[in-house]
Amino acid sequence: MSSIMPTYGRLPVTFTRGDGAVLFDHQDIPYLDALSGIAVTNLGHSHPEVTKAILEQTQTLVHTSNLYRIAQQERLAAELTALTSMTNVFFCNSGAEANETAIKLARRYGHNNGIQTPQIVVLEGAFHGRTMGALSATGNKAVQTAFAPLLPGFIRIDRDDTEALESLAHQRDDIAAVHIEPIQGESGIRPLSLDFLKSARRICDEQGWLLSFDEVQSGNGRCGALYAFQRLGVTPDVVVTAKGLGNGLPIGACMARGDAAKLLVAGDHGTTYGGNPLCCAAASAVINTLSRDQLWDRADIVRNYILEGVHSTLADPASIREVRGLGLMIGIEPVIRPDNLMVKALEERLLINVAGGDTIRLLPPLVMRGEEAHEVGAIVGQLINSLESN
């Protein structure tokens, strides 16, 4: 540990294997995983079809180069575009990189339309990643200040502030895009209002701006559809995703349709690893497993088991201020701040997380069984009962 840069506050546990919604530590003690490595293992640990795809691909070919055609990449793009209204995909290695792609795409779009310094409208409370562009787009001063100067070209408005968006439309002629995290994850599972999302779509259409959604966390089945926008009924021009796409293998994607789909051309953008045969084979297994039985339908089922479990042990319903989120992005905000709750949960052999400082964040896998989900909820209820104000 000591020779690793201390960039993370780590809990004192090491896992050696995983199966479905359960992780086992070095003594083979099981822990219920209600976090999925932060929305990554949406199909659970060691999913047989993903494991098989990874094994077969490693035995055949791991990496070539984007200098050549890559069949696994073309297949994955075809699968993603068949299941969404997007038509073209760029593959990269992470959520931050997928956001960088959307930022470059928006700027390129602006330049193509004669805007010299194209601006991107972003929202307070949004998280888009840690690279400089994505960090500059993020609406959280705590993670930004130490790394100034940030990238210019972002205009920040409050979440759900349709009026602010309307007035930008009247005041400015240098906006290229609006970039939105439709259900803000890192800041505490805060869904944007449907009204705001629809207004953003309308204003973008009226102004000729691109609308892009950051579905790094909300995508890949987690919110009860392959991508949350499909359930919300608001179709952006650009969607970025990562996390659950590879179920643990690093892959991100920036998908687009319409004018945005073919904006980036040879020489504009690239990455060495992005879309390599191994990660694409894993992601294809993920997408096929999700879509074959519409596995995303389990999101609401598992969510309900968890919330039933919470209420089965909760001493006082008034100790919860709000339950937020969609499908398996679950935010539970207790009246008393859940400080140290990750540690207390770990003692109960449950993996959860606190987001935004005030909200218990649960991101369990779609494959979590009903009784496991009920158990997760029951432990969370007890943890909330044990909160003490200070």
Q: Which residues are near ligand PLP by CB under 6 A? A: 94-96, 99, 127-129, 181, 185-186, 214, 216-217, 242-243
Give the nearest distance from C-beta 169 to ligand PLP in angstroms: 25
Q: How far apart are alpha carbons 371 and 258 in whole angstroms?
A: 44
**Beta carbons of 174 and 117 less than 8 angstroms apart:** yes
CB of 95 or CB of 327, closer to ligand PLP: 95
Q: How far is the CB of 185 from ligand PLP (least distance, A)?
A: 5
β-pair partners for 252:
92
Residue with tokens 């990496």: 63
CA distances from 262 to 90, 106, 113, 133, 256 (A): 10, 12, 14, 21, 8
DSSP 39-89: HT-TT-BT-HHHHHHHHHHHHH-S---TTS--HHHHHHHHHHHHHSS--EE
Token pair 């997928």 in the structure block, residue = 98
Specify the residue, 225 or 242, whose C-beta has the smaller distance to ligand PLP.
Answer: 242
Q: Which lies closer to ligand PLP via its Cβ, residue 92 or residue 350?
A: 92
| Shortest Cβ 242–ligand PLP spacing (Å) | 5
Q: Select 76 or 320, whichever has its Cβ closest to ligand PLP.
A: 76
Q: Would you say 34 or 314 has its CB closer to ligand PLP?
A: 34
The minimum distance between CB 128 and ligand PLP, in angstroms, equals: 5
Q: How far apart are the C-alpha atoms of 176 and 10, rounded to whole Å?
A: 40
Q: Which residue's CB atom is positioned nearest to ligand PLP?
A: 95
**In 222-291, where do the E strands start and end?**
238-241, 252-256
The two structure tokens encoding residue 251: 């892959």
Give least dist CB 127 to ligand PLP, A.
Answer: 5
Q: Closer CB to ligand PLP, residue 177 or residue 383?
A: 177
Closest CA to 80 of 329, 214, 328, 254: 254
Min dist CB 48 to ligand PLP, Å, is 25
CB 279 → ligand PLP: shortest distance, Å?
A: 13
Give the DSSP H/E element, type plus range, for residue 207: helix 194-207
SS3 119: strand
DSSP string across 149-167: SPPS-EEEE-TT-HHHHHH
* Least Å from the CB of residue 42 to ligand PLP: 13
**Residue 77 neighbours by CB under 8 Å, 6+ apart:** 88, 89, 91
CB of 312 to ligand PLP, least distance (A): 30
What six digits make up the tokens of 379? 């432990």
- Of the pair 275, 377, the CB lying nearest ligand PLP is at 275
- Choose between 84 and 382: whose C-beta lies nearer to ligand PLP: 84
Task: Identify whether the C-beta of residue 296 lies closer than 8 Å to the C-beta of residue 366.
Answer: yes
Q: Which residue lies nearer to ligand PLP by CB, 212 or 382?
A: 212
* Lookup: tokens for 152: 């210019």
Closest CB to ligand PLP among 246 and 377?
Answer: 246
| Separation in Å, CA 126 to CA 56, 65, 139, 142, 215 | 38, 33, 5, 12, 11
Smallest gap from Cβ 155 to ligand PLP, in A, equals 19
